[in-house]
Structure 1
Amino acid sequence: MSDFNLKDFLDQKVDEYNHVGFIPHDPISIPHLFVERENIEIMGFIASILAWGQRKTIINKCKELIDRMDGNPYDFVLHHQETDLKQLLGFKHRTFNDTDLLYFISFFKFHYSRFDSLEDAFLIGQEDSEDVNIEKSLNEFKSYFFSLPDFPLRTRKHISAPIQKSTVKRINMFLRWMVRCDNKGVDFGIWTKIAPSKLICPCDLHVERVARKFGLITYDKVNWKTAMELTENLRILDPNDPVKYDFALFGLGVEREM
């Protein structure tokens, strides 16, 4: 299949999957429960970090967490008392537990006391740059996230970074949600300091399997180099918005059309 035909096919699949009907059965439905930017950011981030396993379970656990935070995560983060934190005890999703959650809450309180948006957490050292380097952003974000004293060592496993050779799938997915803006109603496009052209495609098992069949991935291992190779090949198809093809590759993988 030529690049021209592959582009036509994938563009068609993007149009097929990138619509509001995609939302209810995907973790992105969680931030869509809110209209306030801070709640969208907080629950979007948490939903992306919890996004492994069955999507129905992920969504249910996120809704449980929202209930534990009295329906307003941002207000809970900023104004909770120590006694309110008892509401979070016992929360668990796979290997993510209440120890991890309590640190996440501490980080959000720390960050939102200094900045208006979580976007700034991904601009450390690049605040004035018009050409944000996402690899640097992700590495600096992990350092910043764990900059509070006495962070739980166990929690570090939940935040990946390229320096670990990880694909950083979950956070790249979160960045797609926040940055892409195409008026289709799925991705939010509420961040403006990071260009969609700079995003890295989330590389999960579905995306990887389909991408390999199209020759978009040739690298044997699944790591940061794999995500970069995939994204560079998608940039050939659309230099301005390569990560839109996440919809096509993921959709094809989930429905096992390929």
Structure 2
Amino acid sequence: MTQKELKDFLDEKVIQYNNQDFIESDPVQIPHLFSHKEDIEIAGFLSATIAWGNRKMIIKNSHTMMELMGNTPHDFVMSHSDEDLSRLENFVHRTFNGNDFAGFIKALQNIYKNHNGLEALFAKNQEKNSLQKSIHEFKKVFFEVDHLPRTQKHISDPLNNSAAKRINMYLRWMVRQDSKGVDLGIWKSISPAALSCPLDVHSGNVARKLGILTRKQNDGKALNELDLKLRQMDAQDPVKYDFALFGLGVFEGF
């Protein structure tokens, strides 16, 4: 397949999967439940955090998280009591438990009270064509409040060679200006050109079969390699190809 044929093929797959039908089987549906900016970004952040494993279970447990916050995520973050946090104790999604959930609520409150919110914090350290330093600095701020050491594993650090799949997916949801209405695109201070593909086992395997990824591990180095190839196909909206790679892997078994 020539470079043009590959791009044409992936562009077709983007059209096939980047549409409203995608939402009903994906955790991106959780932030779509809300209309206020802060509710959208908090709901998206929490549901992206637990986005590993069985997709139906991810969606089910994300809905449970919203219910535990009274379906008012921003209000809960800003005005919760100790009694409110105690209601989170029995929550569990794989290795993310109620203690981690409570720690995330406290960290988010600090971000909104002292760092002008999630968008401002991620925008602060963006570089040309990369948000990986932003993620690294975000993690430092996120855990500047008291927290259990175990909770740190739930936010990846790309400067430690992590592909940071879930947080890159979250940034795609918040930043990408999507005419099809899947990604929410509510953050205007960050360019979609700086986004990185949410690299996971599905997108990684498809990328290797298509010859746009050679590294065997799904790590930070592989992400850099894949990002370079996707930017060559569309420098302004490189992560639209996540829909193609993911769709080919999950829905077509490519």
- TM-score normalised per structure 2: 0.96
Task: Say whether 1:153 aligns with 2:149.
Answer: yes
1:71-119 C-alpha deviation (Å, 9 max, x unpaired): 1111111111222222211111000001111110001111111355411
1:68-83 to 2 correspondence within 5 Å?
68-83=68-83
AA aligned to 1:136 is: K
Instruction: Structure 1 unaligned segments of length 5 or more: list them.
Output: none
Q: Corresponding residue for 2:28?
A: 28
Task: Say whether 1:242 aligns with 2:243.
Answer: no
Q: Corresponding residue for 1:140?
A: 137
Q: Corresponding residue for 1:111?
A: 111
AA aligned to 1:8 is: D
Q: Corresponding residue for 2:202?
A: 206
Task: Say whether 1:179 aligns with 2:178.
Answer: no
- Match of 2:217, SS? coil
> How far apart, in 2, do the equivalents of 1:121 and 1:102 lie?
21
Instruction: Structure 2 unaligned segments of length 5 or more: list them.
Output: none
> How far apart, in 1, do the equivalents of 2:10 and 2:129 lie?
27
Structure 1 contact 123–132 (Cα < 8 Å) conserved: no
Alignment RMSD = 1.4
Identical positions, percent: 49
Cα distance, 1:257 vs. partner?
4.4
Deviates more, 1:179-188 or 1:114-123: 114-123
Deviates more, 1:84-93 or 1:172-181: 84-93
Pairs aligned (count): 254
- Match of 1:227, SS? helix
> How far apart, in 2, do the equivalents of 1:119 and 1:78 lie?
16
Structure 2 contact 92–98 (Cα < 8 Å) conserved: yes
Structure 1 contact 124–140 (Cα < 8 Å) conserved: no
Q: Corresponding residue for 2:43?
A: 43
> How far apart, in 2, do the equivalents of 1:167 and 1:125 lie?
18
User: 1:231 aligned to 227, 233, 237, which one?
Assistant: 227
Deviates more, 1:138-147 or 1:110-119: 110-119
> How far apart, in 1, do the equivalents of 2:154 and 2:53 lie?
14
Cα distance, 1:37 vs. partner?
0.8
